Structure 1
Amino acid sequence: MGLSRYKLGELIEQRREKNCNIEDLIIRGVSREGFIKPKQIDADTSIYNVFYKKDFVFNPARMELNSIALNLNFEKAICSSLYEVFYVTRTDVL
């Protein structure tokens, strides 16, 4: 069995789900240590991004600090709309 090469875009997909229904979900930010409690708590969460278990969340403005986390704790949660969320679509090759 040989190794196959894939482009990252062939293995992942960006999640573009917003908290439109304003569900009362856990809010998390991301740091190099993983998920953190948010600094701002009185924000309008209707524009926040929804993420699920096994999704990756990262802050593109802070990539030099490795601000990325794999969610293994929350079934469903939200993060700032400034963050990007993606998930693995090809679990069969990992």
Structure 2
Amino acid sequence: MATVTKKFRDDFEIWAGHRIAIGQWTQAEIADFKAMLRTDLEPGPDRLRVGVKVILATGVEVLAAIDDHEERYRLWADFFAAEAEAIRHAVGENR
């Protein structure tokens, strides 16, 4: 099972709590997403994006899989950190 840092967990919890609070996600959807995230953060090749292709702005088609689990972790950590910061900022502005 993948382990995460306290910051990752805290940022995720802020993001998830906000999504539930605004009615965008349900508690069950967050639980399903968390299970998917655990799978995505496990060491080894990317099991979620196998065979998925994306088209870059240049029109070039590339595989979407990210086989380096540390890179997947970094991308998720960056996403949740940015989201949590935006939520903290928005909440701070509304006080």
TM-score of the pair, normalised by structure 1: 0.22
Structure with greater helix percent: 2
Which has the higher relative contact order, 1 or 2, with Cα contacts under 8 A spaced 6 or more apart?
Answer: 1
TM-score of the pair, normalised by structure 2: 0.22
| Higher Rg of the two aligned structures | 2
Structure with greater strand percent: 1
